[in-house]
Amino acid sequence: MYLSYRLTVPEDLEACYPFIRDRFHYDERLKKDVIAFWTTLIQDGCCISQVIEDRDQPADKRHVGFGISMFANDRFMEELKGDLPPFVHLRVLEKWKRGIRPFLKKADVHPAQTGRGLSVVALHYGWDFARYDLENFIKIRQFCTQAFLTLVAGYRVKEFAEEIYEVEEKELMANLGLDLYRDYKEFLGTKYLPPAMDKGHPFLMGITAEAARKKPGTAAGAIALLGSPRFSFQAPEQEILRRALSGETDEEIAAALGISLITVKKRWQGIYDKVEAVDSEILSEASEESNESGKAKQRRRYLLKNLRDHPEELWPAEASGVAEGS
C-alpha cells in the first residue's frame, strides 16, 4: 500500500461517497443531494477537500479515503455554537436545499482569508472499511487526518469546528488542542437524540485562533502560530506547489491542469525567481550541484521542505491573470 493525497475534484465524489462514516443518515435520494452539495462547494472554492489514494491499486480503485470541510459564514458559526440541533452535516444540507448558504460565497473567501481568517467546519470524512485489514485501515485513517492538517494549514483559520460521535474521539480531539463547545444534552429525548446518552452521543468540538495560540505543541497551536506569506506566490504558482507537495510529477501536473509541460517549467522558474529575490539562502545549497539536472531537483526539494514548514505561503492568493494555456 502506497498512500498519497490530492485535492478532490467532482469526478471523485461518487467513488468517495461510500466511505463517509455518517452515510447511514442518507437514503438513495439524499445521496444525490449530498453529491450535488459537495460539487457546489468544490466548484465555488468554498471548502477544503482531500482524496486519499492507494497508488498500488489500479487507477479506478485507488480511492481509499475522503474528507470535506466547508468555509462557514459568521452567521452559521453563531448558530452552530448556539442552538443548532445535532448532526451538523444534515442541518447544512437542509439549509442548502432551502436556498440558504451557510458557507461563504466564492467572492468572499479571499477577503476573509486576507482579513481575520476563515471559519472551517468539518462536514464529512471516512475511509474504505471493506478492502483493508485493521493495520492498513489505521494507516489510511492517520494519513487522511494528516492530509487535512496539511491542507488546512494552507489557510488563515480564525476558527475550526467538528462534530464527533464517541467519547474516544472527543479525547483524541482534545489531545489535538480542540475544546468542547457543546454536548447537545438539551436535545436528549427529542426527535434528534434518544433519551439516554450512549456511545453514539454527538459532541461539538472546536477552537479559535486566539485559544489555539495558548496551546503550543498541539496541532491547533501549530496552525494558529503561522506567520505571514513572504513570497507572494500567485494562484497558478500555488497550484503547482500544492500538487508538487502531494507528490505529483511535472507531467502529472500538466495533465491535471490542462497546460503544457513547458508552461509548468516556466512557472517553476518564476517560483524560484520570487524565492531568490526574497531569501536566496533557501535555495543556495542547490547551486553546489555539479549538473543542471541535479541542481533543479535540489532546488525543488529545498523549496518544498520550506513550504511544509511554512504552509502560509499557500494561503489563497488573488488570481494572477496568467492564461492556463500560455
CATH code, domain with 103: 3.40.630.30
| Residue 271 and residue 123 share a domain | no
pLDDT of res. 289:
54
| Residue 122 and residue 257 share a domain | no
| Interatomic CA distance for residues 268 and 177, integer angstroms | 36
Which residues make beta-bridge pairs with 208?
159
| Interatomic CA distance for residues 111 and 142, integer angstroms | 32
- The grid coordinates of residue 36 equal 450535488
Domain count, the chain: 2
| Residue 140 and residue 172 share a domain | yes
Please name which of 127, 105, 130, 129 lies closest in space to residue 118, comparing C-alpha atoms: 105
pLDDT band at 319 (very low <50, low <70, confident <90, very high): very low
pLDDT of res. 317:
65
pTM of the model: 0.74
| Residue 246 and residue 209 share a domain | no
Classify residue 152: in a domain, yes or no.
yes
**Domain with 297 in it: what CATH number?**
1.10.10
Classify residue 323: in a domain, yes or no.
no
Helix (H) or strand (E) holding 65: strand 63-72
Classify residue 319: in a domain, yes or no.
no
| Residue 157 and residue 297 share a domain | no
pLDDT at 141 over 80: yes
What's the Rg (C-alpha) of the chain?
21
Question: What digits encode the pLDDT tens for the residues 284-308?
Answer: 766 655 566 677 788 888 899 888 8
Mean pLDDT, range 155-168, rounded to an integer: 88
Best-predicted range by mean pLDDT (63-77, 185-199, 281-295, 300-314): 63-77
Residue 147 CA from chain centroid, whole number: 7
pLDDT of res. 318:
56
| Residue 123 and residue 260 share a domain | no
| Residue 246 and residue 188 share a domain | no
Across the chain, what does the average pLDDT equal? 86
Classify residue 325: in a domain, yes or no.
no
Of 224, 247, 262, the residue that ends a domain is 224
| Interatomic CA distance for residues 280 and 60, integer angstroms | 43
Higher pLDDT, 181 or 215: 181
pLDDT of res. 29:
81
| Residue 257 and residue 140 share a domain | no
Higher pLDDT, 80 or 245: 80
Please name which of 228, 236, 243 lies closest in space to residue 304, comparing C-alpha atoms: 243
| Residue 104 and residue 163 share a domain | yes
| Residue 305 and residue 218 share a domain | no
Higher pLDDT, 39 or 149: 39
Residue 40 · residue 32 · CB < 8 Å: no
The position carrying cell 487507477 is 59
Of 199, 224, 249, the residue that ends a domain is 224
Of 165, 189, 224, the residue that ends a domain is 224
pLDDT of res. 126:
87
pLDDT of res. 186:
87
pLDDT band at 94 (very low <50, low <70, confident <90, very high): very high
Mean pLDDT, range 18-40, rounded to an integer: 86
pLDDT of res. 326:
40
Question: What digits encode the pLDDT tens for the residues 225-252?
Answer: 666 788 989 989 999 998 998 888 999 9
Classify residue 230: in a domain, yes or no.
no
Choice among 39-53, 142-156, 258-272 with the minimum mean pLDDT: 142-156
Classify residue 324: in a domain, yes or no.
no
Structural domain boundaries, residue 306: 235-314
| Residue 192 and residue 96 share a domain | yes
Classify residue 8: in a domain, yes or no.
yes
Residue 54 CB-half CA count within 13 A: 19
| Residue 204 and residue 55 share a domain | yes
Classify residue 322: in a domain, yes or no.
no
